[in-house]
Amino acid sequence: MSLSPSLWTIPVSDSDAAAIVSRAQVLFERLRGIVSQHQNVRLASSMAAEDMVVIDAIARTGVPISVFTLDTLRLHSQSVALIDEVSRHYGLVIERVLPDAARVDDYVRHFGVNGFYESVEAKEACCHVRKVLPLARALEGASAWVTGQRRGQGVTRSALALREFDAPRGIDKFNPLHDWSEEDVWAYIHFRHVPFNPLYREGYASIGCDPCTRPVKAGENLRAGRWWWLQEDSKECGLHVQK
């Protein structure tokens, strides 16, 4: 009988304390640079490991960057609980941005509760209602926004820059972890004792909505568990697509 493939596990880094602190200082300076250029900056946090690093850096530096998360109403219970845990841990207000109830009802009537499994069109429509439109509301009045994206997260992010212009929203967008590795992220989390989603301990390398996320095998792309029934170039929800 063949053994089932092992699941992804949280990586162990060989970075020493000095290297972690040095990398953190670069991150802190990036955040300070962002707020020196913009008056109203907001972090869009999915409560992923990368976002936890950025939230920790915001708390440590005291930079005026507000934090919000898109509560799609289809999140894992662990993800929902983490929002409150992180808010208490850092004494930060994390705004929950919900989808419009009428639009969700319209989607369900047209595609079904889990219609996103049936076609790319249905998947994109669901993400549009639950993520893209709420993001637009959350960024109203902002002069820039911050993400936890990294180049190593997938082929659609391989050329990610520190600073981009978000043409659809007409504001600057910053990815202060763009050049960090997966190991860098987890080295920081362990060194600073940063809270993180317990689903990572169960093989979830990238965590989105509950019905659209599953654990990944060791060696697979980190986002292989996101919308696993689709091709690699379809594994974005529309939040970071420049059109």
Residues found in the chain: 243
Contact (CB, 8 A) for 209 and 237: no
Instruction: Dig out the tokens for 105 from the structure.
Output: 């009802």
Q: Identify residue 105 by its one-letter amino acid code.
A: D
Contact (CB, 8 A) for 70 and 46: yes
Q: Identify residue 133 by its one-letter amino acid code.
A: L
Pairing of strands 171-174, 163-166: antiparallel
Catalytic residue among 126, 127, 212, 237: 237
For the question of residue 237 being annotated catalytic, the response is: yes
How far is the C-alpha of 57 from the C-alpha of 34, rounded, in Å? 13
Q: Note the helical H segments in 62-119.
A: 77-90, 101-111
Q: Return the bridge partners of 213, or none.
A: 226
Q: How many helices (H) and strands (E) does the chain have?
A: 7, 6
User: Which sequence positions are flagged as catalytic?
Assistant: 237
